Structure 1
Amino acid sequence: MTVSEIVTTAYLVRHGAIPEVVRAGWSGEAPLTRGTSVVVETSRGPELATVLELVRPNGSAPTPDPESLFPILREASEADRTTAREQTRRARDEFSKWTQRITEWNLDLQLIDLEWTLDSSRFVLYVLNERGPECTKLALQAAAAGYGVVDVQPVSSDGLVTVPVEKKGGGGCGNCGSH
């Protein structure tokens, strides 16, 4: 079954340690209300998100293509919220260790936050920088040091430094299109 066959309603949802607003599709019977916690399958994997608003079609904006929506997997359970709280504590504990690693690796980056996806399959480092070689070096150094695939997400004073959106990508940081 494809997303277009199951998605019935589009919502704006906010997710991530450095918040990002995306369009997500819900196939559940009951409508979602503002503030509802949901689990969304983002390009990084499952993440806890908050429903902001129903996407309403208007004359100037077409109805969203169901294939362009991130699927809302379910309303968040207490177990999902507990996992998210534990990961927030874990991130707080890891922050100084990652700051030290960045310093030891002589990278011109400033770590501002970090997080895991809800299933702990992806790890994201948010750094104050434009997308470029220092981000790529951090991802490569982390992999070489045995930390696995680490997504390095640059953040500027305008917010997240974006790359082309893919439904499910590789990892790291840079311009190779694997993000």
Structure 2
Amino acid sequence: MKVISVKFKESGRAYYFDPGTLQPQTGEYVVVETARGVECGEVVRAAHELPSGGAPREIKPVLRMADGVDIRRMRQNRADERAAFRLCEERIAAHKLQMKLVDAEYTLDRNKLVFYFTADNRVDFRDLVKDLAGQFHTRIELRQIGVRDESKMLGGLGVCGQPFCCSRFLKNFQPVSIKMAKEQGLSLNPAKISGACGRLMCCLGYEQKSYEYLNAITPQPGSVVRTPDGEGTVLEANVVSGTLKVRSVESLAPKLYKRSECTYLRGGKRAPIQPDPEED
């Protein structure tokens, strides 16, 4: 299936759309229908084949190529969104609501103005909606989002120096637990394993399956193994490099061995499983 990639914000994620008989090129603008309504976005990748299994459940079609009126309206909407954001912040303060405004978005036809916010608890914003509807004379929607969604919308740089994964390519947030950090041998200091959103970093899940496998085939500290120099006790295990620090019965000085050089005998928290035959 051929699709095009469209962005609606400079720091936002690209979405797939079906170009149909149209042939939009990179840098051109198209009008599409999204969950928020009719939107105008920039084509960041022209028509290309979508890999097998990489298609979302539903790919919506491109409505038409954007003309000069659409592009001017889109740019005007972006400017008006900033003004709407400031006014909404003022009205939130006037109503004394415990909520943090994150973003404001007009649909292309200006039939709806969506405000995104975060809050620790449920917020009764019915009076605020009436107030805003009187100010903007359009349909108002207030949508509460989580702190991860906030980071995804606003974007930024992670501790790795790269743009946030969530705003760059992640489609859905996967569960991340402190157990993953333990299995990967990372510091459990929250400041070192948390992202800008304050939650555990999504990237902890990227290599989790690999770490689970490597931990499973590696003798744990306390295990007794047979080495080329005789029996010894594992003091440390580096699952990534595949090395074991072993202290033998004959010598008090520990020595490094490759995992493949050691045969598990007994002890440790658990016995390791046999590695895959393809592993070196």
- The TM-score normalised by the length of structure 2 is 0.45
| Mapped contact 1:37–1:75 kept (Cα < 8 A) | yes
Displacement after TM superposition at 1:52 (Å): 2.2
**1:99/1:146 CA distance change after superposition, 3 Å:** closer
**1:20/1:27 CA distance change after superposition, 3 Å:** same
Structure 2 gap segments, 5+ residues each: 134-138, 154-165, 173-280
Secondary structure, in 3 states, of the residue corresponding to 2:21? coil
Displacement after TM superposition at 1:10 (Å): 1.5
| Mapped contact 1:116–1:124 kept (Cα < 8 A) | yes
Displacement after TM superposition at 1:118 (Å): 0.3
Out of 79, 99, 116, the position equivalent to 2:89 is: 99
Within the alignment, does 1:51 sit opposite 2:40 as a pair?
no
Out of 124, 147, 153, the position equivalent to 1:156 is: 147
Deviation per CA, 1:104-161, whole angstroms, max 9, x where unpaired?
Answer: 223332223312100111211133x279624xx34x3443436243142536354149
**1:122/1:20 CA distance change after superposition, 3 Å:** farther
**Rounded Cα–Cα distance in structure 1 between residues aligned with 2:59 and 2:88:** 33
| Mapped contact 1:33–1:51 kept (Cα < 8 A) | yes
Larger radius of gyration: 2
The residue that corresponds to 2:98 in the other structure is 108
Q: Tell me the number of residue pairs that the alignment of Structure 1 and Structure 2 aligns.
A: 148
**1:123/1:16 CA distance change after superposition, 3 Å:** farther
The residue that corresponds to 2:25 in the other structure is 33
Out of 112, 131, 134, the position equivalent to 1:145 is: 131
Q: CA RMSD in A?
A: 3.1
**Rounded Cα–Cα distance in structure 2 between residues aligned with 1:132 and 1:49:** 34
One-letter amino acid of the counterpart of residue 50, structure 2: P
Runs of 4+ in 1 over 6 A off after TM superposition: none
Structure 1 gap segments, 5+ residues each: 1-7, 164-179
Out of 55, 58, 77, the position equivalent to 1:87 is: 77
Secondary structure, in 3 states, of the residue corresponding to 1:32? coil
**Rounded Cα–Cα distance in structure 2 between residues aligned with 1:98 and 1:71:** 33
One-letter amino acid of the counterpart of residue 72, structure 2: T
Secondary structure, in 3 states, of the residue corresponding to 1:70? coil
**1:49/1:92 CA distance change after superposition, 3 Å:** same
Higher relative contact order (CA 8 A, sep 6+): 1
Out of 110, 113, 117, the position equivalent to 1:123 is: 113
- The TM-score normalised by the length of structure 1 is 0.66
Secondary structure, in 3 states, of the residue corresponding to 1:23? strand
